[in-house]
Amino acid sequence: MMPRFHNLSFCKILLCCSLLFSLPLASNAQLDSLLNVFRDLQDATKVGPLFKEMGTVCAYDRDCFQDFEAYTYSSPLTPVKAQGMFLYASYYANKSLYDIGDKLFEKGLRVIKKSDQKHPLIGRFYIAMAVSFRYQNVLDSAIYYADKGYTALKQNKLDQYYWMYYKTKYLVYLDLKDYKRADQNLIQAYESADPNNRMDRGFLLHSLLLAKKERGPQSDFIKYLDEFIKFKKAGNKHKELDAEHSGLLAFFDSEEEAIKVLEERLKKLEGGTEVDISLSRLVLADKYTKNNQGDAAIEQLNKAEKEGSASTNKSLYWQKFQTYRQLNKHQQAYDAIEKYLTIQDSSYRQLLDKQIAEHEVIFKTKEKEQELVLKKAELAEAKIVQQSIFGLFLLLATLAMTFFYMYKKRQKYIQSLIAKDMTIQQQKIIELEQKNKLLSLNSMIEGQESERMRIAQDLHDGLGGLLTTVKAHFSTIQKEIENIESLNIYSKTNRLIDEACTEVRRIAHDMVPYSIKISGLHGALEDLKESVIARGLECEVEIHNFTKDQLNEQQANMVYRILQEITNNAIKHAQANHIFIQLMGHENKLHILVEDDGVGFDVSKQDYHGMGLKSINSRVAYLGGTIMYDSSPGQGTNINIEIDV
């Protein structure tokens, strides 16, 4: 059995289903079309209407806005994209979707600030965020962002938006029930609003009247009431402004209060002023009529007829007609309605005459426009010729400047090459001088070593052998000169000869340490240690991570001479009791440390040109090393030497 479809045919249902399924496809196509228009848009003022159409398609589905969002927040920033970011965030914030709106505001600010820290939209972004936080009742954040917005607007001199800042602060302080600050900000908002923006000024003036009505003083209320009357009159030049539609009745709690205030205003305005008091009379007459005071109403209307402008007469006669009809004065009511209709016909004729005049103006304007087009074409042609001449001159000037710049750059480059060549030659001269110094130093040291070896050989072979022979002769004649022993001359002479032999061996050993040839620098340093101890000082020698193969014989001799000279200085001059010598190998370097506990010296005042220190420094320089003295009076001396091995 077929189911019933409640008077709908099966075909109709199929048609409805197909339409429902095709709607998303149509929406996607429409959105793509709008997005393409947005991408091609150059005028930021046209973003608003276009985004409104996108909102109609996507509602509040953020996934639907995915492509729009990706393009809008991409680089480079353009005025169209910036406006799109602002409207996109405001779209969600205005519908109380604050979580999304606030995140989009923050995201937009980051993108804009990254491109331009002084972008003109930054101030409006902050104020929009302040409004959002105010609706969320997070009032401290609202004040914070409003102040940031004002700073940004002031930085860009966008004073046309100051009223937004003051209006936001007014609403926040109103929520905080701080009426004094609220009213101060409301007044500043009204004073800073654009006089040509009737919507903003009308809202602010209306708010001011309500505030002054509630919180006074009465003089301020009257002041802004007069401004409101002028404001309404200025906006209704071509149509009647009756009491009901003027908006004045909203500021009075009762008919009696309205009548009282309006009567007072009429007394003050009757003396002649820029304010059209006939409007106030019409409002007052309307109050009298509604309060069944017809005669008083007619009195005010008669005065308004004498004082008022033509734009109010039509409304005046209509009100007279209603009041006379209430008083059952039919003849007067008929006369009033007849005048009303006459003014109505006159208005139509004026409108028709105005339209004819406008058409004539348009025709004449088109003729003038054609003349202007021809003149503009002639001027454009002349301008093109001038621009061509100027462009040619500019091209020649640019070429001349380019050639001059390239010539100067080439000259500078040649000079820099000459300067570099001179610097290289100077460095080569310095290197040759240093090389010559090292060669002469090497020759001097080699000569010293050769001379030392010759003297040591002579002492050892000559004087040493002679002394040994002398000692043998003394031993031979010992038995025959018994009488000399009784005088103890033999023992003394023999001891002196032993001391002479020892001293000769010491001098010869100091001249050439043969232990270096036998056991390397390690053995020589042990001999140096024994020599120092023999001269009455305590001496320690430590060697770490260093083998005798790391230095050749000449380098080992140099290191030995350096340490020999340092220990001699410590014994002769430092009055030391203890000497510590340490050799340590580390990363292809030999580190030498010599410490003593002597009297020390002032390093800053030491003369390094003495024979001892000069010998030490020259040998260190020969080995390509560095030396550092660390000493002060009474604190002993530390000497650090570093040599490449």
Q: Which pLDDT tens digit goes with each residue over 339-363?
A: 877 776 664 455 445 444 544 555 5
Confidence at residue 538, expressed as pLDDT on a 0 to 100 scale? 92
Q: Does the pLDDT at position 131 exceed 70?
A: yes
Q: Does the pLDDT at position 158 exceed 50?
A: yes
Number of residues assigned to the chain? 645
Residue pointed to by tokens 């462009």 = 391
CA-CA distances (angstroms) from residue 121 to 106, 154, 164, 242? 13, 12, 13, 41
Chain mean pLDDT for the chain? 77
pLDDT tens by residue, 239-296 = 444 444 444 555 555 556 666 666 665 565 555 444 456 656 777 777 788 788 888 8
Q: Does the pLDDT at position 638 exceed 90?
A: yes
Confidence at residue 243, expressed as pLDDT on a 0 to 100 scale? 42
pLDDT tens by residue, 462-472 = 566 667 667 76
Return the sign of the alpha-carbon dihedral for residues 502, 505, 508, 513.
negative
Confidence at residue 454, expressed as pLDDT on a 0 to 100 scale? 57
Q: In 3-state terms, the chain is what percent helix, strand and coil (to 5)? A: 75, 5, 20
Closest CA to 189 of 203, 210, 176: 203
Confidence at residue 443, expressed as pLDDT on a 0 to 100 scale? 58
Helix (H, G, I), strand (E, B) or coil at 580: strand
Higher-pLDDT residue of 552 and 132 is 132
Q: Does the pLDDT at position 4 exceed 60?
A: no
* Out of 510-524, 572-586, 615-629, least confident range: 510-524
Q: Which range has highest mean pLDDT (13-17, 67-71, 210-214)?
A: 67-71
Confidence at residue 444, expressed as pLDDT on a 0 to 100 scale? 65
Confidence band of 7 (pLDDT split at 50, 70, 90) = very low
**Which whole number is the average pLDDT over 392-411?**
85
Distance between CA atoms of residues 133 and 245, nearest Å? 35
Confidence at residue 53, expressed as pLDDT on a 0 to 100 scale? 87
Enter the pTM of the model.
0.39
**Which whole number is the average pLDDT over 48-54?**
88
Q: Does the pLDDT at position 504 exceed 90?
A: no
Helix (H) or strand (E) holding 181: helix 179-192
Distance between CA atoms of residues 112 and 121, nearest Å? 8
Confidence at residue 130, expressed as pLDDT on a 0 to 100 scale? 94
Helix (H) or strand (E) holding 490: helix 489-511
Confidence band of 125 (pLDDT split at 50, 70, 90) = very high
Confidence band of 13 (pLDDT split at 50, 70, 90) = very low
Sheet holding 578-585, edge to edge: 538-544, 578-585, 589-596, 637-644, 626-631
CA-CA distances (angstroms) from residue 559 to 305, 469, 589? 127, 36, 13
Return the bridge partners of 641, or none: 592, 627
Confidence band of 73 (pLDDT split at 50, 70, 90) = very high
Distance between CA atoms of residues 629 and 593, nearest Å? 10
Contact 127, 89 (CB under 8 A): no
Could you tell me the two tokens for 205? 């003036």
For 337-450, strand residue ranges (E) read none
- Prior bond to 217 cis, omega within 30? yes
Helix (H) or strand (E) holding 643: strand 637-644
Closest CA to 165 of 173, 107, 224, 79: 173
